[in-house]
Amino acid sequence: MSTPAVELVGLTKSFGSVTAVDGLDLRIEDGEFFSMLGPSGSGKTTVLRMIAGFELPSAGRVLLAGEDVTGRPPFARDVNTVFQDYALFPHMDVLANVEYGLRVKRVPASQRRDRAMAALESVQLGQLARRRPTQLSGGQRQRVALARALVNRPRVLLLDEPLGALDLKLRRAMQLELKDLQREVGITFVFVTHDQEEALTMSDRIAVFSEGRIEQVASPAELYESPGTAFVAGFVGTSNLLSGDAAAAVLGRTGTFSIRPEKIHLDSDVESGNTTARGTVADVVYLGSVNHYLVDLDAGPTLTVLKQNLRDSTEQAMGRRGQQVTVGWADEHVIELSGDTQQVQQSHEKEKS
Amino acid sequence: MSFSRATRGVLLALTGLVLLFIHVPLALVVLNSFNVSRTFEWPPPGYTTKWWSAAVDSAGARNAIVVSVEVALVATAIALVLGTMAALALQRFRFFGRDTVSLLIILPIALPGVVTGIALANAFLTMFGIELGMLTLVVSHATFCIVTVFNNAIARLRRLGGNLEEASMDLGAGTFRTFWSVTLPMMRSALLAGALLSFALSFDEIIVTTFTAGQGIQTLPIWIYQNLFRPNQAPVVNVVAAALIVLSIIPIWLSQKLAGTDESVAAAR
């Protein structure tokens, strides 16, 4: 296997008595769009800051392209960062911001100007080169921050929730643009986000973080369709988690299981061969293109069932509150999970091999 | 907030009263500088510009102004360098006893001038064996000038956070380059405001000065104090005071203009 762009070995970071990152092992391949996904406080941003060099690890090593850079300051690492709040220099215009990295590295003035303008053109901001950052919209600042980092042609680009401050529509557009840009330049992107949809949209692989550890590293489809742990099943997409007595009552098995809401069928949609259960519709949540039905099973637990609004009118859907229904699912869509550490370690092992 | 008509009337009247109370005496100083009467008779029996020409010719006043400006400039320069460095150290690095150091830096401005004066004079004369003079005066002024620069600098650094500096280092700039290209430009307006205040503090300081200046050196406040009660000099002193009032408007106006540049700091957040 080729040398990974980023390799983390036993990476640990403690702040006082709090362990933010706990013995992390991770390989990020060259040219990959890699996302670190997790709730706030799960340690993903701390890992990013240790790769950039803003934080020194309490233990463990950071390798960039096989080279140990653990103790090196940020300015001696071949990575660049797009910050969450962009951190553009307000006392410089857009062009000077983009040129900054090149000027520091003493690239000749003429070449510097050309490269900076090219970087600005690549994010469609060539005409705003002489503006101040304060005169730009949030989306434009985001692009400037991207150009300022990419113009240095780093080996790895680190992105710390760069789309968090944008509105939904702009964020969707930027997601696709970022993905295109990454394919174009071929630079390894390490993208931190708490938005699972964002991670699924853009990434080649995703690491799911929880409490300073990695729960699972997998491709978006693998992560969604066969989550390794209860945490992953719950955090990536919506899940019906069944464990203990509930699992025994509904599935007749012991353990922890997940069924995705869209894999459960309702009444006439139930297919032959499906496992079925009876229940009462407790509530219907209208979500526009789809509805969520909350079904209290006679056996005990409540399942969320997703149904597309293809034929039923809204009134019909809402009218099913309190009705008796049959739900069914194919057995292959029941995912067996394990929330215990053994399973997590197994997924780590798989990652390393 | 909105007020009823009556409340607004009362507030306006009070504001007017306070402004009158502060500025009528100042106006009187300016007016009296043209008063023919040597004893500032009221109402003035007539007006003249002879005191102004007398003041311009007064070697004592001219000399005192030069000394005061020199002391204030040098003390402010020392304060700018040391105050900025102290603020950077305290804001950017965590170390044992950080809060205590911060308190110790600010303390001189809270101490009564008499105490600072006696303490410094004693230290200079006995411990270091230095004659009181220009050097001791400048160093003494610098002790409280540092505080204003330090306070302005640390407030600005707190508001800025470390984000821009991280961005600069991320783009390959070392510590010194980052300070020069990013930190210092972002602090410029705060440092200028601190320097103006520091200059003003030093310029009108009299208590510490009396203890640490020694015999040969006369700053403007000391010259004014010594000449105010000499009947022949009173009109000239008054002219100097009037001139200072007019001159003081410049730094105030400047610092108000500087406050406007804080927008860029807010935008950096």
Per residue in A120-146, pLDDT tens?
A: 988 888 899 999 999 998 889 999 999
- Does A281 reside within a domain? yes
- The A-side interface with B (CB below 8 A) comprises 52-54, 73-75, 79-81, 83, 85, 87-91, 100-101, 104-105, 133-134, 148-149, 152
**Average predicted confidence (pLDDT) for chain B:** 87
- Does A141 reside within a domain? yes
| Whether residues A124 and A164 fall in one domain | yes
- Does B26 reside within a domain? no
According to the model, what pLDDT value does residue A352 have?
38
- Does A342 reside within a domain? no
* Containing structural domain, residue A218: 6-227
User: Given pLDDT bands bounded at 50, 70 and 90, which one contains residue B259?
Assistant: low
| Whether residues A182 and A251 fall in one domain | no
Chain B closest CA to A81's CA: distance in Å? 7
Residues of B in contact with A104 (CB under 8 A): 171-173, 177
When comparing pLDDT for A348 and B100, which is higher? B100
Task: Report the C-alpha gap between A110 and A97 in whole angstroms.
Answer: 16
- Does B210 reside within a domain? yes
Cβ contact A303:A264 at 8 Å = yes
**The tokens of B255 are what?**
């610092």
- Does B40 reside within a domain? no
| Whether residues A186 and A38 fall in one domain | yes
Residues of A in contact with B184 (CB under 8 A): none
Q: What are the backbone angles phi and psi of residue A125, rounded to the nearest 5°?
A: -125, 20
According to the model, what pLDDT value does residue A81 have?
95
- Does A349 reside within a domain? no
| Whether residues A204 and A242 fall in one domain | no
Average pLDDT over residues A329-342: 70
Interface contact A75-B186, CB threshold 8 A: no
**Average predicted confidence (pLDDT) for chain A:** 86
| Whether residues A215 and A257 fall in one domain | no
Interface contact B267-A89, CB threshold 8 A: no
According to the model, what pLDDT value does residue A171 have?
86
Q: How many domains does chain A have?
A: 2
Question: Which chain B residue shows the shortest CA-CA distance from A151?
Answer: B171
- Does A350 reside within a domain? no
Interface contact B177-A73, CB threshold 8 A: no
Is-cis flag, bond preceding B25, omega within 30?
Answer: no
According to the model, what pLDDT value does residue A346 have?
38
- Does B182 reside within a domain? yes
Task: Report the C-alpha gap between B107 and A213 in whole angstroms.
Answer: 47
- Does A46 reside within a domain? yes
| Whether residues A144 and A75 fall in one domain | yes
| Whether residues A28 and A55 fall in one domain | yes
Asked if pLDDT for residue A344 goes beyond 50, the answer is: no
Cβ contact A247:A257 at 8 Å = yes
- Does A156 reside within a domain? yes
Residues of A in contact with B173 (CB under 8 A): 75, 100, 104
- Does B8 reside within a domain? no
| Whether residues A126 and A258 fall in one domain | no
Which candidate from B164, B169, B186 shows the least CB-CB separation from A75? B169
Question: Which chain A residue shows the shortest CA-CA distance from B166?
Answer: A54
- Does B63 reside within a domain? yes
- Does A353 reside within a domain? no
Residues of A in contact with B182 (CB under 8 A): 89
Q: How many domains does chain B have?
A: 1
Last residue of a domain, one of A227, A245, A267: A227
Interface contact A75-B173, CB threshold 8 A: yes
Mind listing the pLDDT tens digit for each residue in A140-195? Answer: 999 999 999 999 999 999 999 988 878 888 888 888 888 988 998 889 999 999 99
CATH of the domain at A196: 3.40.50.300
CB atoms within 10 A of CB B210: 16
| Whether residues A161 and A38 fall in one domain | yes
Asked if pLDDT for residue A345 goes beyond 80, the answer is: no
Which residue type does A250 have?
V
Question: Which chain B residue shows the shortest CA-CA distance from A99?
Answer: B171
Q: Which long-range contacts (CB under 8 A, 24 or more apart) does B255-262 make?
A: B255/B192, B255/B193, B255/B196, B255/B197, B258/B189, B258/B192, B258/B193, B259/B189, B259/B193, B261/B189, B262/B189
- Does B158 reside within a domain? yes
Interface contact A81-B170, CB threshold 8 A: yes
CATH of the domain at B262: 1.10.3720.10
Interface contact A52-B269, CB threshold 8 A: no
CATH of the domain at A292: 2.40.50.100
* Containing structural domain, residue B195: 52-268
DSSP A203: -
- Does B146 reside within a domain? yes
